[in-house]
Chain A
């Protein structure tokens, strides 16, 4: 069954580059909540996978310190914890540098080590979770008693994927991410940014699949609302010439 959505201009692309606005209705329904995001294809390199020409350790902090720090800080917003993780990563790399075989960039190898450190950190800091999630008033207030949206969604002036090239938009996105409750942010980052399998996210965060999708549901709605308030609904922050597309998200 194929229907035409009211907006015929491409609103966004799926991973095959197909404009979703022209799509089959049930494909659209699946797009609405993608079940299995595809890995990005970025080069990966585990701590034991890669030993050719690693830079001298005294250069590491200068060359890679900020990169690792930013990577850690997005996932662990506490600055001192992020710094500690960077230090642990360099120490592990120093201890294990014989295993770097130059099969990937040295920086990629370091990020691989940092990812393991981050997962260990999350496991240690995640408290035992109760089976039932506590209510989230921010999300509850988005709906009336019949379950309808209390406020209809605003039309966004441009597609976030196009705005991604704008530093300000990405900065706003990171502010909104950091504003999410800790548990929701962890679930969203592991599943939607790091694209870890759901089973792995459940293990790391000690969650049931139901707990995980409840957190993901809340995080997605909060993030959308935050961007609507801080970017799309803010006249000063609206994208300027070259990126505006009128009502690209008009349904």
Chain B
């Protein structure tokens, strides 16, 4: 039981589960107690939360493409799509 309480794997699973569905009362208490005791899981939890905040910037990649020099349609596909559109117009 003690080992189970200290399972970082279980804590990281519950944290992910929490993004999908509500945790039971017991699970929330377990996670809270584990985080209270485990500095590594607190650190990783904060890092993952920060990554997820950054991920939302990718909702619209154009917001960042100037900085990243994002990928572009190839000339060939550009010509093909232009041609298909012209046929249907």
Contacts and interface: CB of A to CB of B under 8 A. Distances in A.
Contact of A32 (B49, B85, B89): B49
A83 B6 CA distance: 48
A146 interface: yes
Interface residues of A, number: 87
Interface centre among B13, B41, B43 (most CB of A within 10 A): B43
B1 interface: no
Interface in A155-177: 155-156, 159-161, 163-167, 169-171, 173-174, 177
Contacts of A29: 28, 31-32, 35
A214 B41 CA distance: 18
Interface residues of B, number: 68
A28 B15 CA distance: 11
Interface in B52-86: 52-62, 64-74, 77-78, 80-82, 84-86
A149 B47 CA distance: 15
Nearest to B5: A147
Contacts of B7: 146-148
B39 A251 contact: yes
B46 A58 contact: no
A170 B58 contact: yes
Interface in A164-222: 164-167, 169-171, 173-174, 177, 188, 191-195, 198, 209, 212-214, 216-217, 220-221
Contacts of B31: 29, 32-33
Contacts of A95: 88
Given A32-B45, A191-B19, A161 B85 contact: no
B51 to A, nearest CB: 5
Interface of A: 3, 5-6, 11-13, 20, 25-26, 28-35, 37, 40, 42, 57-58, 60-62, 65-67, 69-71, 73-74, 79, 83, 86-87, 90-91, 94-95, 111, 143, 146-149, 152-153, 155-156, 159-161, 163-167, 169-171, 173-174, 177, 188, 191-195, 198, 209, 212-214, 216-217, 220-221, 223-224, 227-228, 249-251
Contacts of A66: 65, 70-73
B6 A94 contact: no
B81 A61 contact: yes
A249 B62 CA distance: 29
Question: Lowest 3 A-B CB distances belong to which pairs?
Answer: A167-B67, A33-B15, A147-B7
Contact of B40 (A25, A65, A152, A173): A152
B47 A42 contact: no
Nearest to B22: A35
B59 to A, nearest CB: 6
Given A66-B73, A220-B52, 4 more contacts: A32-B35, A32-B41, A192-B19, A192-B52
B63 to A, nearest CB: 10
A161 B50 contact: yes
Given A148-B6, A163-B54, A209 B42 contact: no
B42 to A, nearest CB: 5
